[in-house]
């Protein structure tokens, strides 16, 4: 690279020119986009090193446990910069999502020190935290000796910071003053509508306004399109069926999974009149317009059907639609994104969120070094690199979400995605009650949903039975 | 004192130690099996969830007693036994029929018996995923064939009414060759004289099958059934890969339930209690079969 080009990147590092000017100038100097991106991030990395001793743990060897995901791919693509910045080595084991959390449970429950840090979701920390498997990261964030002054923790969206912090009290509010920060938000997905614009045009329908409208339009799409089905939602016997579109709509109708009594005891709340009415709508939608083998559907089938043109709509993670609108999917470029408030009386969407986060293994032997990795991986620089150059979407930092380059890139390739994100994100948070029996409750809920969709049990009776079973389990565990 | 008189006690000591040394590997294996078993029995008597460490405590047999009044547990017992009975029964009938067809040693039969073994070489989890694709209502080849046959809206593993049929079908596809190859080996090793005598006397084929072939093949059938029974009642991979125990609780067999109790709910005690009960059922069933097998062997010796 010429001296002129190097000077150009130095100017950016010194803050004399903007990122946009830098990329334009690099283009004029004949530097390829890939080289420019690498240099840009290397310059960012050097800027990151300015006021903090990143080399403190030079020579340390970290081992990470990762889930096979575009977020992990984004980090791996930038890992050389971490090595250059810190002088540390970072190796990783990567597992497909089907078995990933079983691997995490096996590693942590055996008190293994094999992994220093790992990917997790916030729900999982409701098990890992009380079990003593992960460290409270609040202590690291507040320690100026361990955390880069430019880390800007407050830049992380407040709803995400709160959703990953819990005081360990069953039913305790997320993000309370005494909460422990069990993990660091890395990237997140909220649940909304993604739809096939061509199919909607063909059937002459507009994106749904609310849940009754969605039920009606999904049925019309199924009928009119003559092949693709109207709406894709998850249906497998797993907690993962409950948390995306289903719970987002449930919360929008003002319904709760559990209630917390004055004595702190938990009680199932799935059998209220409002809950039963919402369940009936959702079940009618699946029965009339869902995939034929709905009860085996995970996020993977929901997404691939939309990408392959087998479904017209999904009510699932917004990034699932994002991924299906790109790559080599058949429907690439045909998808639209739509913020969705299912309750006709609600003023705004209330999407439940899934936050891919980073957590620290309590049994690790080099925790300070692991924290260096975690703060680099969740830094503004890496977040911006991932959001603008790879598929590290949605970004957890406000500065990155508002970055013009990020918005321009998304607007150019993914019609309506930025608007959807802006309209949905204010109400986006975790709508579950945090408590240790989260997976018991949600798996039972999914099982009951399957029975009701299969007409094995009427909705009212099924939800009464579900609430009674959950209440018994809570009582047995001393929580109800 | 000569060198020989010094070496004699050493040799005697070595000879005395030899049986212990020879049994050491078996002892180590036994200890290796017993440690996790005893640990599981111990855990099953605790109240023990990893994410509620404060509640950990010894409750003796409460976990087992709670199962008695738990309809979900009895559903698990029912589904596990039904699955075992159906898979082993169908595989035994099919395995025997195929073995009879391939009994004669020809080049074609030998090739066919090798080819028929291929499903057995497929990992059951992979076979389940393969069948999951083949039975997909949108693009699965089996769904297409069923539609051609005039059956519309057949939901395979995704409907409670057909889920058991679907997983049994996969199990039969994978494991029938196992029974077939054992019975084929048995058939080909049977003495030829009784069959030749029956042929000379013009005995009907049905009579030969029920009065000569089956009784002589019984020890092989019991061995094959025992192996499959022990494996089938511990089924996990096919069911978990296809339905995770659903739809609803249709296929919540012991191993799937125990796996979920530990890996998803971190309920170590309940998971261990389920596995101890599964062990007890397996032990009882294998005892019955081994006694039958020994009886048959005694009878065979007596008649010899």
Q: Please give the DSSP secondary-structure letter assigned to residue A433.
A: P
CB contact under 8 A, A295 and B49: no
Cα distance from A133 to chain B (closest Cα, Å)? 9
**From CA B262, how far away is CA B265, in angstroms rounded?**
6
On chain B, the residues whose CB falls within 8 A of the CB of A311 are none
Over residues A316-326, the pLDDT tens digits come to: 999 999 999 99
Non-local CB neighbours of A331 within 8 Å, separated by 6+ positions: A196, A198, A306, A307, A308, A309, A324, A325
* Cβ-contact A89, A61 below 8 angstroms: yes
Q: Which has the closest alpha carbon to A62: A119, A137, A114, A124?
A: A114
CB A231, CB A281: distance < 8 Å:
no
Task: From the options 3.40.190.10, 3.30.70.260, 3.40.220.10, 1.10.1040.10, give the CATH code of A190-352+431-476.
Answer: 3.40.190.10
Positions in chain B short of pLDDT 50: none
Distance between CA atoms of residues A151 and A169, nearest Å: 29
Nearest CA in chain A to B63: A476
Interchain pair A296, B260: CB under 8 A: no
Contact A292 B158 (CB under 8 A): yes
Q: What percent of chain A has pLDDT over 90?
A: 87
The ipTM (two decimal places) reads 0.88
Of B138, B244, B263, the CB nearest to A237: B244
Structure confidence at residue B299 (pLDDT): 81
For chain A, what are the domain ranges? 3-48, 54-187+356-426, 190-352+431-476
What's the gap in Å between the CA of B192 and the closest CA on chain A?
52
* B251 CB-side CA count, 13 A: 33
Q: What is the assigned CATH class of domain A54-187+356-426?
A: alpha beta
In chain B, which residues have their Cβ closer than 8 Å to the Cβ of A243? none
Question: What's the burial of B129, exposed, middle or buried (CB within 10 Å: 0-12/13-18/19+)?
Answer: middle
Considering only A6-15, A321-330, A332-341, B257-266, which range has the smallest mean pLDDT? A6-15
Q: What is the pLDDT of residues B85-119, one digit of tens each?
A: 999 999 999 999 999 999 999 999 999 999 999 99
DSSP A114-149: S-SEEEE-HHHHHHHHHHT-B--THHHHH-TTTS-T
Interior CA angle at A302 toward A297 and A306, to 5°? 150
Kind and range of the H or E element at A61?
A: strand A61-67
Mean pLDDT of A222-237: 96
Q: Which residues of A touch B262 (CB under 8 A)?
A: 105
Residues A433 and A430: their CA atoms lie apart, in Å, by 8
Residue A15: what pLDDT?
47
Contact residues of A toward B, CB < 8 A: 101-102, 105-106, 109, 126-128, 130-132, 236-239, 291-296, 305, 310, 436-437, 439-440, 443, 446-448, 450-451, 454, 456, 477-478
Between A and B, how many residue pairs show a Cβ–Cβ distance under 8 A? Answer: 94
User: Over the Cα atoms of chain A, what is R_g?
Assistant: 23
In this predicted structure, the answer to whether residue A5 has a pLDDT above a threshold of 60 is no
Closest by CA position to A421, among listed A312, A360, A338: A338
Residues of B in contact with A238 (CB under 8 A): 244
Its CATH architecture, for the domain B74-303, is Orthogonal Bundle (1.10)
What residues does A267 pair with on adjacent strands? A259
Report the predicted TM-score, pTM, of the whole model to 2 decimal places.
Answer: 0.89
Do A344 and A90 meet the contact criterion of CB atoms below 8 Å apart? no
A46-70: pLDDT as tens digits: 656 667 999 999 999 999 999 999 9
Per-residue pLDDT reduced to its tens digit, A340-394: 999 999 999 999 999 999 999 999 999 999 999 999 999 999 999 999 999 999 9
The pLDDT of residue A4? 59
Residues in B whose CB is inside 8 Å of some CB of A read 49-53, 55, 132, 135-138, 153, 155-160, 242-249, 260, 262-267
Interface test with B, best of A454, A458, A459, A472 (most B CBs within 10 A): A454
The alpha-carbon gap from B227 to the nearest alpha carbon of chain A, in Å, equals 29
A19 or B132, which is more confident?
Answer: B132
Nearest to A102 among B51, B248, B263 (CB): B263
Cβ within 8 Å, pair B160-A456: yes
Which position has the token pair 């100017």? Answer: A11
- Closest alpha carbon to A216 in A162, A167, A154, A289: A289
Least confidently predicted of A24-28, A149-153, A436-440: A24-28
pLDDT of residue B152: 84
């Amino acid at each position: 690279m010429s001296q002129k080009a190097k000077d150009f990147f130095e100017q950016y590092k010194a803050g004399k020119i903007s990122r946009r000017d830098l990329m334009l100038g690099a283009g004029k100097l004949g530097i390829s986009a890939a080289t420019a991106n690498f240099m840009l991030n290397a310059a960012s990395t050097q800027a990151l090193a300015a006021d903090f001793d990143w080399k403190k743990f030079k020579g340390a060897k970290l081992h990470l446990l990762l889930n096979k995901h575009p977020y992990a791919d984004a980090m791996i693509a930038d890992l050389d910069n971490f090595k250059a910045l810190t002088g540390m080595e970072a190796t990783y084991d990567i597992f497909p999502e089907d078995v990933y959390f079983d691997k995490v449970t096996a590693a942590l429950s055996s008190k293994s020190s094999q992994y220093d840090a790992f990917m997790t979701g916030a729900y999982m920390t409701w098990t890992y935290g009380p079990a003593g498997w992960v460290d409270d990261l609040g202590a690291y964030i507040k320690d100026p000796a361990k955390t880069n002054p430019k880390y800007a923790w407050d830049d992380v969206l407040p709803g995400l910071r709160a959703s990953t912090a819990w005081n360990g009290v069953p039913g305790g509010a997320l993000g309370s003053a005494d909460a422990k920060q069990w993990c660091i938000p890395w990237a997140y997905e909220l649940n909304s509508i993604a739809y096939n614009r061509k199919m909607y045009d063909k059937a002459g329908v507009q994106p749904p306004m609310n849940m009754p409208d969605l039920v009606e339009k999904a049925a019309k799409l199924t009928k009119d399109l003559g092949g693709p089905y109207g709406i894709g939602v998850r249906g497998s016997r797993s907690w993962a069926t409950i948390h995306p579109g289903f719970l987002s709509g449930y919360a929008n109708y003002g319904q709760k999974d559990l209630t917390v009594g004055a004595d702190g005891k938990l009680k199932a709340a799935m059998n209220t009149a409002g809950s039963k009415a919402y369940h009936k709508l959702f079940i009618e939608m699946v029965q009339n317009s869902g995939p034929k083998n709905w009860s085996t559907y995970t996020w993977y089938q929901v997404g691939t059907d939309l990408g392959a043109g087998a479904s017209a709509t999904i009510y699932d993670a917004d990034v699932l639609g994002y991924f299906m609108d790109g790559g080599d999917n058949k429907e690439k470029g045909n998808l639209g994104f739509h913020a969705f408030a299912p309750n006709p009386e609600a003023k705004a969407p209330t999407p439940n969120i899934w936050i891919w986060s980073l957590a620290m293994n309590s049994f690790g032997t080099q925790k300070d070094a692991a924290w260096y990795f975690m703060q680099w991986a969740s830094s503004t620089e890496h977040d911006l690199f991932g959001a603008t150059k790879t598929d590290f979407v949605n970004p957890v930092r406000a500065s990155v979400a508002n970055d013009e380059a990020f918005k321009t890139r998304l607007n150019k390739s993914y019609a309506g995605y930025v608007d959807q994100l802006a309209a949905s994100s204010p109400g986006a948070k975790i709508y579950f009650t945090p408590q240790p029996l989260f997976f018991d409750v949600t798996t039972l809920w999914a099982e009951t949903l399957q029975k009701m969709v299969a007409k094995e049990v009427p909705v009212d009776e099924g939800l009464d039975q579900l609430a009674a079973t959950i209440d018994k389990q809570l009582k047995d565990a001393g929580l109800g | 004192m000569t060198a020989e008189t010094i070496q004699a006690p050493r040799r005697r000591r070595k000879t005395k130690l030899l049986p212990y040394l020879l049994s050491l590997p078996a002892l180590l294996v036994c200890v290796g099996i017993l440690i996790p078993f005893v640990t599981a029995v111990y855990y099953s008597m605790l109240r023990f969830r990893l994410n509620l460490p404060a509640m950990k405590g010894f409750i003796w047999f409460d976990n087992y007693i709670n199962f008695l009044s738990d309809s979900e547990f009895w559903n698990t017992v029912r589904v596990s036994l039904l699955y075992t009975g159906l898979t082993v029964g169908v595989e035994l009938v099919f395995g025997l029929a195929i073995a009879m067809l391939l009994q004669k040693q020809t080049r074609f039969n030998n090739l066919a018996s090798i080819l028929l073994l291929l499903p057995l070489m497929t990992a059951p989890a992979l076979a389940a995923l393969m069948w999951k694709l083949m039975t997909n209502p949108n693009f699965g080849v089996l769904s297409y064939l069923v539609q051609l046959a005039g059956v519309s809206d057949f939901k395979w593993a995704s409907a409670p009414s057909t889920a058991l049929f679907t997983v049994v079908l996969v199990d039969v596809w994978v494991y029938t060759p196992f029974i077939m190859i054992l019975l084929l080996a048995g058939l080909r090793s049977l003495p030829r004289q009784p069959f030749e005598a029956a042929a000379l006397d013009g005995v009907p084929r049905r009579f030969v099958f029920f009065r000569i072939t089956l009784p002589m093949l019984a020890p092989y059938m019991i061995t094959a059934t025992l192996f499959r029974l022990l494996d089938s009642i511990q089924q996990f991979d096919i069911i978990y890969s296809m339905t995770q125990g659903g739809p609803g609780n249709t296929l919540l067999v012991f191993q799937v339930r125990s796996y979920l109790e530990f890996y998803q709910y971190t309920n170590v005690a309940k998971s261990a209690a389920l596995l101890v009960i599964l062990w007890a059922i397996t032990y009882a069933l294998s005892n019955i079969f081994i006694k039958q097998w020994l009886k048959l062997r005694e009878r065979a010796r007596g008649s010899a």
